[in-house]
Structure 1
Amino acid sequence: MNENLLQFIWRFQYFNKLNLFTVQGDPVEIIHPGTLNTNQGPDFSNAKVKIGHTLWAGTVELHIKTSDWSKHGHNSDDNYKNVVLHVVYEDDVPRNDLPVLELSGLIPGILIRRYNSLMQSQRFIACEQLIHKVDGLTINSWKDRLVAERLHRKAMLIEDYLCGNKQHWEESFWWLLARNFGTKTNAETFEAIAKSISIKLLARHKSNLIQLEALLLGQAGLLNRAKYQDKYVLLLDKEYAFLKTKYKLRTVVFPVHFLRMRPGNFPTIRLAQLAALIHNSAHLFSRIVEEPQLTEVKKWFAVAPNDFWNYHYTLIDDPKFLKKPIGEDMVNNIVINTVVPMLFAYGNKHHNGAIKEKALQWLEAVLAERNSVTRGFQQLGVLNKNAYDSQAFVELKTQYCNHRKCLSCAIGNAVIKST
């Protein structure tokens, strides 16, 4: 038994409530268990309990043992003066000044055993052997909550961006877009590159693709190397040296990584594609906000870098022709991880429900993601129809399952209480 489980049991009243008595011998009737308090003070507020013939309204404090009250220093804490009931799993010391309700012996043993089994599970998710018993309505409504939580968390990152660039939405979009072009491996580096080159500076050189490539590759620290012999690379190096001096740029300190990456995800290719996207677009986020059709937006991202990259994956490749446009998978990734979070954050910031709804609809319109998390849930028979489902599964796995937060999860709740 731990306090999290005890709070869960009290909150949902998963114990035998017939013929309840305090340890002092007074009959107890629980009118309302109260509201879980996540701030300082007693565990539950606004509770109503009838003890003897008296109806009490106030707070309820929970502990594993009665002696924990004094161990936690509640005797001298004014926050605990309005406690009307002390709920414990085990009454280990006598108390005469406060009613104590002992739950040991009132809780179904199977509930405790099932919880302990979940906490000790080493499977993909703790409840994978029981999730098939959870009804579809519970899972679908929990997906909605998970997607909302995920988008609100991402909105917090965007809010940090806005605080750092004086509420400039286009600049923030550029930073997040670059971060996602870096994929998980180079996300921090690509974000640093974006922050080192303002969108205003990029706009000045928007018409010159070579200069855009020079800026991005140069800031990544990939130019100015004596081993390069290719005329195009030497041209990029020359352009970057001029622009670096002109704008007093500082190369980012984060390294770029190539190791264990597919060639199509090499940072050189992604930076070249990013340069092509800047070259072919203007006021991109403003256009996205106004555009009603996702299919149109996806066309804007389906660009290709210049001809040099048709023969190269890096700056020193042997020539082998292969066109390298931004593919459908990457476009979908951009929609999921850049477009939708930015739209949702924008709608949230401006109290515009229509834009938030558009973000959710676009998420449902994108193909389901294929990764280790979604494959794991699919193997358990949980449908992964679109990116909305995928994002819900990723949030569930990373924010709940990996941390064994089963008591805070609707699916975990359903599994534990189905005793």
Structure 2
Amino acid sequence: MARIVIVGAGQAGAACAAKLRSLGYDGAITLLGEEPAPPYQRPPLSKAYLLGEMEEERLWLRSAAFYAEQKIELRLGAPVRAIDTAARRVMVGDEALGYDELVLTTGSTPRRLPAAIGGDLGGVYTVRTLADVDAMRGEFVAGRRLVIVGGGYIGLEAAAVGAKLGLDVTVLEMAPRILQRVAAPETSDYFRALHASRGVKILESTGLERLLGEGRVSGVRLSDGRELAADFVIAGVGILPGTALAEAAGIVIENGIRTDAMGRTSAAHVWAAGDCASFPWQGGRLRLESVGNAIDQAEAVAANIMGAEAPYVAQPWFWSDQYDTKLQIAGLNTGYDRIVTRGPEGDAVSFWYFRGDTLLAVDAMNDSRAYMVGKRLIEQGKPVDPAAIADPATVLKALLR
């Protein structure tokens, strides 16, 4: 019987397996997961789950019964040791598992603080897996001192949880402003003010020299020589695509596992999707770290395995929850030359990224209407009058006509 093996049982891997079945694939499907938990949602880990507002079972993408009903062999705690693309097999422990088609949905791994500056001390955490969050949950006790290294979305979400639970929270950001790599100054200003209103201390243009402590972290020394006490530390300094298996197998890597527009890698019968994959985009290449991309790209790969021959066209979108603020992002803001602000109206405000009259992206805070209209305008690619966006009298939906 024909067999498709999917390496990586996260959002992309689970989506690919389910899509193959819904498209009528009747061969064997084996979904290999390194973690002991079934495929689960990652975004709530640093939000509702860390706050204790969500049980583990609610994180699961599908019930255990789904995989049995769909005849998807789900193997957990089964890290793949190597891939042999010539023989078409993967090594799971000492077992050689053959495949007709192989899909790599190996995700990403968090950057860790170097051991040379104390990153291997106890009480230093990253936020990526269920095990990561389970390991740190007991640290979140009111009055304790939390230092977060990195002012991106993961770091700020962890800061929000800490502040809500009564911790003394400090965020260190080496760049001149939080969110500098991913957002406009207006969005940075919004979230800086939001966190300050909740008592979070944000230190920008401030690097980490080293972590202090013997065996367990007790503080941090900053680049300016100051020292801060810390009961524990969270590193939110970005992620790296999971390319090690592919690279060892001789598959081409280019900011992730390089794929063509269909999701094929440089090796015959091997595909890739999700955080680990880079794909053609507007004359260059793009790698997206988002749930939406993981699902859409994995489903596109499943369709192409079934013969669709349809290029994957990304429609980027992202979100972040901090306190009572829901940020929804549509599009990619790379290359913007102008920001148009709409609002505030109540607690809703949105920032619209333009290059000339071309709308590139929208950051919408507590404004789902702005997000939805902006997303559709971007997908349509039609010119938008920036003045109309800024005018509170404009009915946004009218711009879609």
Into which bin does the TM-score normalised by the smaller protein fall? under 0.3
- After TM superposition, the score normalised by the length of structure 2 is 0.21
Q: Which has the higher helix share?
A: 1
- Whose strand fraction is larger, Structure 1's or Structure 2's? 2
TM-score, normalization by structure 1: 0.21
